Structure 1
Amino acid sequence: MKKLLLIVSFFTYIFAQPNLKNLSVIELFKKQYYTYICMHRWIYINKYEKKREDLLSLVAYSCLKKHFLTPALDLSKVLRMTKEGRINSTYITTLFMMKLLLIQYLNNENSLLEVTLPKINNDLLAHVFYLIQKQKPEVKNYQTEVSDDEKHYIITYKPYINNIIIDIYQNGKLIKKEKYW
């Protein structure tokens, strides 16, 4: 009986989903289908390149909402026709550069102290990057730790999947785990 209920629930969920292909980027964004938008970025790039950088910026922001930095780079390459597009492109490439420099740091290959990048105030990866630059923590087994006034961060590089994982602790309890692809 439980299996039957589970199967019925699964199919109800699957078929109750709207046909996402029929929704605009704006509708998908408002409904928070960020992963869907990002994974279909090439459809939007081919459709809107040199025409609608505002919509391409939404696609890029969708990738960033899910911490998909590598796919967001595809959009940074085409955001160049407007001032806002160039600003968004710089933002994406700066975050990606921070990720690459953190990977080098976590591999004991590079000191982040020698690098100055544009300031980004509203992103966890950037916050951790600046903390590491300031605190110069030791790295062991692709991992390091930093803290600010409120939280403690454990930053781990997973070389086999090329991701950075940030565990966020507050009062000794894990409150969030973020993965940057």
Structure 2
Amino acid sequence: MFNLFENKRYEQVCDIGFNNFGRYVKDEEFLSLYAFGCLHSDFIDRLALPISLLKYSKTARANSAYFAVIFMQKKLLYHALIDGYELSQYKLPSTNYVLSKVFDYYVALGKHSPRNFYLFDDLTNPKLSYKLYLTKDTKSYKMVIEEYYDNTLIKKHIYW
């Protein structure tokens, strides 16, 4: 699993971790690697169990807190986009993860009318920008964040 992670095969790391979770439920290094694999492959909902189980070492607790912030931001942003829930009342920690950045930019808008999409320029890198919007399939909405570098799409993150 570690070799896959080093080779940026994050989705495989997440899948292997998911399929072997029960065997390594007390192994915090395994749980952290699994969770980071899921994070990097945008399977944010799979962070829920590692968040609650990473608690015995200082590093594990730090990882758990990091994952919990991103997990909560995803849930709140999804709620805001679909249901019009007001987020300006929240002041959460931030991370350098793309969803966390977009969450912060969205919250900074304050109270506003719903839009079909939102465009945000990265405050730390003027060549980076983000587009946030919803899509709907037959069952549910998906939240999409497109990352652009110099106006060229470099990655599309899809969350449900």
Classify the TM-score, shorter chain: 0.7 to 0.9
Question: In structure 1, how many angstroms separate the alpha carbons of the residues matched to 2:50 and 2:141?
Answer: 20
- Structure 1 residues 30, 148: CA separation in 2 closer, same or farther (over 3 Å shift)? closer
- Structure 1 residues 107, 86: CA separation in 2 closer, same or farther (over 3 Å shift)? same
Aligned length: 154
Greater helix proportion: 1
Amino acid aligned to 1:152: S
User: Partner of 1:78 in structure 2?
Assistant: 53
Q: Where does structure 2 lack aligned partners over 5 or more consecutive residues?
A: none
Q: TM-score normalised to the size of structure 1?
A: 0.72
Contact 1:99/1:164 (<8 A) preserved = no
TM alignment of 1:142-161, pairs within 5 A: 143-149=117-123, 150=126, 151-159=128-136, 160-161=139-140
User: Partner of 2:91 in structure 1?
Assistant: 116
User: Partner of 1:4 in structure 2?
Assistant: none
Once the two structures are overlaid, the 10-residue window that deviates more, 61-70 or 108-117, is 108-117
| Equivalent of 2:7 in 31, 40, 44 | 31
Question: In structure 1, how many angstroms separate the alpha carbons of the residues matched to 2:146 and 2:131?
Answer: 5
Contact 1:152/1:169 (<8 A) preserved = yes
Alignment RMSD, CA only?
Answer: 2.3
- 1:88 and 2:63 aligned: yes
TM alignment of 1:1-181, pairs within 5 A: 25-50=1-26, 52-120=27-95, 122-136=96-110, 138-141=113-116, 143-149=117-123, 150=126, 151-159=128-136, 160-181=139-160
1:19-71 residue CA offsets vs partner (Å, 9 max, x unmatched): xxxxxx22332333321221232444222222x21121111110011111011
- Structure 1 residues 95, 116: CA separation in 2 closer, same or farther (over 3 Å shift)? same
Q: TM-score normalised to the size of structure 2?
A: 0.81
Percentage identity across aligned positions?
29
Q: Secondary structure at the match of 1:107?
A: helix
Q: Where does structure 1 lack aligned partners over 5 or more consecutive residues?
A: 1-24
Question: In structure 1, how many angstroms separate the alpha carbons of the residues matched to 2:4 and 2:120?
Answer: 36
Q: Secondary structure at the match of 1:54?
A: helix
